Structure 1
Amino acid sequence: MSEFKQTFNSSLGKKLIMALTGLFLCTFLIVHLGGNLLLFKNDNGFGFNVYANFLTHFPPIEVIAYILYLSILVHALYAIILTVKNRKARPVGYAVAAKSDTSWSSKNMGLLGSILFVFLVIHMSDFWYKYKYTNEVAFKEYRTDLATDQTTVADYTPVSADFNHSVSTENNVEIVRVKDLHARVAHVFGNIWYVLIYVIAMGALSFHLLHGFQSAFRTLGWVHRKYTPIVYGIGAWFFAVIIPLGFALMPVYYFFMHKG
């Protein structure tokens, strides 16, 4: 047990924790982007609101969510510890800086991570916290005719204060009542300052993943002459371009398309 503890207290151990939590967070980004793409569906927020309700009321998903929050905190904490340790190891800079092949994203992972952490606090406060712990998010009622598959939507006011959601069927009509997070998204993304903050954060995410994804594989020793270029390609294009771009398009789309 002491050897296990000693391993994870070492610099290598801390880097391993950073790598593992980082890859877990990369997996989350894929799932989160997939769910958020429902925002582009022209269904009055039905798909997205049902998805949001599922994430916050299905016990196994809630457990994974809390593991995710813990991973974010551990990842950030160990990043700070490693950064401070590296600076203490070389407190005085070189008189003449030698030319380095180190990328800009590698040199500025601390800055990029700090931007992302601040963004996450703002983002979770505006959406997750207000959705789950306040009454600021209203309800919608969706009625779907099961014969024609036509859905109508209306505002809904719960009878009881502890109401969360319901699904029922009456006269061949499915009735779904859920919190309207979609309206909250449209409202927040109508603010140009929030849109700018979101896009800047996604730029930081892009550079953070550009270095972080590849670095995680190197730390874990998963380096191979044949497969490393594939890993670098996935890190550069999928994680550093496609995922941040997909997230950034959401606030921009809502700002211009739902402005009125």
Structure 2
Amino acid sequence: MKWSEFFTSSVGRKFVMGLTGLFLITFLIIHVSINACIFADLPIFNENDNGSVFNRAAHFMGSTILIRIMEVGLFAGIILHIVQGYMLELKNRSARSVGYAVNLGERGSKWYSRSMGLLGTIILLFLVIHISHFWVKARITHALEPVTYNGVEMHNMFEEMKMVFSQPWVVILYVLGCISLAYHLAHGFQSAFRTVGVHNRKYNQLLTSIGYGFSIIVSLVFALMPVAMYLGWVK
């Protein structure tokens, strides 16, 4: 089989989905770690931080050449993951057009593993809004208020987050996006590892448990950010 045929085959598409999925999981770890810096403003840490830790971390990510190059790869990975995901979804739907004689329901697979296309679409819509709120303003229009630390001027992303998350509908939208992400990761985490060959009966349960833990922790931290800012926990 030629390489071109492999990447257009069902197996090849799943392999690409697995690789890009693992890449995006790595990105989520970095992204949630940077964003969690907003909690440095909590009274138990430093209530006078005023977003300093978060702004400096965000500035480092946005001004480092290597990170900016990786950003291009990130967008390529996201687009490839989306395209291959929809191609697989269409192929699966056409294969299921006749249906099964017996509906196994939850005994066959979890509802979220059968709804990856829907969950992915919700996450895509959320991602478009998220990018327009922050990435476009920071990288394209430069429409963010500046702040200076130790003589270095940078975007005040912290104040932008406070403004964006002052709107109830935005907070609700972000929380719904995070819930969709949790279910998407609940299946996608272990599926990505299995697709690239990390599949051993002895460790399957451990991998599944790690996947559930990852999906809950990451999505919960992401959801807590808009909630914390809207409720005034972080000021």
Q: Same fold (TM over 0.5)?
A: yes
For residue 164 of structure 2, what is the amino acid of its counterpart? Answer: V
Q: Where does residue 119 of structure 1 map in the other structure?
A: 126
Q: 2:39, 2:234 within 8 Å by CA — same for their partners in 1?
A: no
Q: Where does residue 10 of structure 2 map in the other structure?
A: 11
**CA shift at 1:226, angstroms?**
2.5
Higher RCO structure, 1 or 2 (CA under 8 Å, sep 6+): 2
Task: Kindly indicate whether residue 24 of structure 2 is the aligned counterpart of residue 25 of structure 1.
Answer: yes
Q: Where does residue 231 of structure 1 map in the other structure?
A: 207
Q: Where does residue 57 of structure 2 map in the other structure?
A: 51
Matched residues, percent identical? Answer: 41
**CA shift at 1:220, angstroms?**
1.9
For residue 78 of structure 1, what is the amino acid of its counterpart? Answer: Q
**CA shift at 1:17, angstroms?**
0.1
What does 1:119-138 correspond to in 2, within 5 Å?
119-138=126-145
State the SS of the aligned residue for 1:106: coil
1:71-103 CA distances to partner (integer Å, 9 max, x unpaired)? 111001001111111222232334653444200
Task: Kindly indicate whether residue 95 of structure 2 is the aligned counterpart of residue 109 of structure 1.
Answer: no
Q: Where does residue 139 of structure 1 map in the other structure?
A: 146
State the SS of the aligned residue for 1:177: strand
Aligned residues: 227
Q: Where does residue 181 of structure 2 map in the other structure?
A: 205
1:163-215 CA distances to partner (integer Å, 9 max, x unpaired)? xxxxxxxxxxx323211111100000111111001111110000000001111
The structure whose residues are more often helix, as a share, is 2
**CA shift at 1:225, angstroms?**
2.5
1:112-163 CA distances to partner (integer Å, 9 max, x unpaired)? 0000001000000110001122242111123xxxxxxxxxxxxxxxxxxxxx
Q: 2 CA distance for matches of 1:7 and 1:92?
A: 27
- Which TM-score applies when normalising by structure 1? 0.82
Q: Which runs of 5+ in 1 are unaligned?
A: 143-173
* Alignment CA distance shift 1:241-1:219 (3 Å): same
1:18-58 CA distances to partner (integer Å, 9 max, x unpaired)? 00000110111111111111111121111211222222221
What does 1:1-260 correspond to in 2, within 5 Å?
3-42=2-41, 43-94=49-100, 97-99=103-105, 100-142=107-149, 174-237=150-213, 239-257=214-232
State the SS of the aligned residue for 1:107: coil
Larger radius of gyration: 1
**Displacement over 6 Å in runs of 4+:** none
Moved more, 176-185 or 17-26: 176-185
Q: 1 CA distance for matches of 2:165 and 2:226?
A: 5
